[in-house]
Structure 1
Amino acid sequence: MAAAVANCQRRVAVSPARLARTAEWALAALGRAAGDVDVVIVDDAAIRRLNRRHRGVGRRTDVLAFPLATPDLPSPLVGQIVISGETARRQANRLKVPLAIELDLLVTHGVLHLVGYDDRDPVEAGLMHEREREILSAGRRRLPPRLWQGLLKTPPPVSGSGHPRSTPTRNE
């Protein structure tokens, strides 16, 4: 399994190594340990263009996912995730969570889209966000409950305890 990260913007500092580890962790958690994924960090203008071109929506979004695996051809390539660094930073600031954790969430969200999760239906969205929480919480320190604002109808338990797809930016 491998994740390649390309930072194609200069406005927001990101850790490509951390994003690669997050993508690899999510793939492994989903039983796709042999899969490869590309993560591309862009600015708002670039993600707006991609959103318009591939979804017909002329506004920015936080993450787009482009599944590339085909059932007829065995390939380790799962797909490509494109994230707006600027939108991620705004969301992190609004929720008062570290940018790195917001980016972890967006990478995980993108990986879930690549393997078939869909958040266009409210019920499926709830299942998808539960899976995000499970993946991000496993093996990590407690995540700030604020991270889930705008994603889940109910807050996560306090116990510490899948064509292009996209998620609209939270609370925008």
Structure 2
Amino acid sequence: MITFNYETDFTLENESSLENWIQKIILKHDCEEGEINYIFCDDAYLHKLNVEFLQHDTLTDIISFDNSLGKLINGDIFISVERVEDNAKDFKVTFLEELQRVMIHGVLHYIGFTDKTEEDQKEMTKQENASLLMLI
């Protein structure tokens, strides 16, 4: 079950189509959907989590807490709408494009992709791009 929660005024307009898309990505990687909670928030909310749980005193666009059990995908994905908006401008893409990339990024982590090394980052970007094409 995929749920969308809001700690800010922002809301998604197309929850059901995004839910279907995320489910397709999970199945494509031979995994099973468990409970995935998206929490959309602002910079201050996510910064507090970053400091408290990860000891990182920086702003970030996403923090994901992975509770997956093997191939059963579970977790909480916190997304700063403010950071996504700023990053979209920096990367010269639409807000929606950047939001969708960040949303699937968290799920790809749960599936097993990482972004610790340059090589891992390239693979993650490749997986994000392939996933975004499945949304069209």
Regarding TM over 0.5, the answer is yes
Q: Cα RMSD over matched residues?
A: 2.1
The question of whether the paired residues in 2 share the 8 Å contact of 1:27 and 1:35 is answered with no
Q: Aligned to 2:13, which of 8, 12, 15?
A: 15
- Rg bigger for which structure? 1
Question: 1:55, CA displacement in angstroms?
Answer: 1.3
- TM-superposed CA distance for 1:14, in Å, is 3.3
User: Residues 60 and 16 (structure 1 numbering): CA distance in 2 closer, same or farther, change over 3 Å?
Assistant: farther
User: With structure 1 as the length reference, what TM-score do the two structures score?
Assistant: 0.69
Q: Which residue of 2 aligns with 1:88?
A: 84
- In structure 2, runs of 5+ residues without a counterpart are none
The CA distance in 2 between the partners of 1:139 and 1:48, in whole Å, is: 30
Give the C-alpha shift of residue 122 in structure 1.
Answer: 1.1
Does the 8 Å contact 1:5/1:40 carry over to 2?
yes
Does 2:116 match 1:120? yes
Displacement of 1:40 = 0.7
TM value normalised by structure 2: 0.85
Runs of 4+ aligned residues of structure 1 deviating over 4 Å after TM superposition are: none
Deviations 1:62-120 (A, max 9, x none): 1111111235xx9x551111100010111122333221221110011000112222101
- In percent, how many aligned pairs have the same letter? 22
Partner residue, 1:68: 67
Structure 1 gap ranges (5+): 141-172
The total of aligned residue pairs comes to 135
Q: Deviations over 1:119-144 (max 9, x none)?
A: 0111111111111111111352xxxx
Distance 1:57 1:99 in 2: 25
Aligned to 1:39: 38
Structure number having the greater helix percentage:
2
Does 2:32 correspond to 1:29?
Answer: no
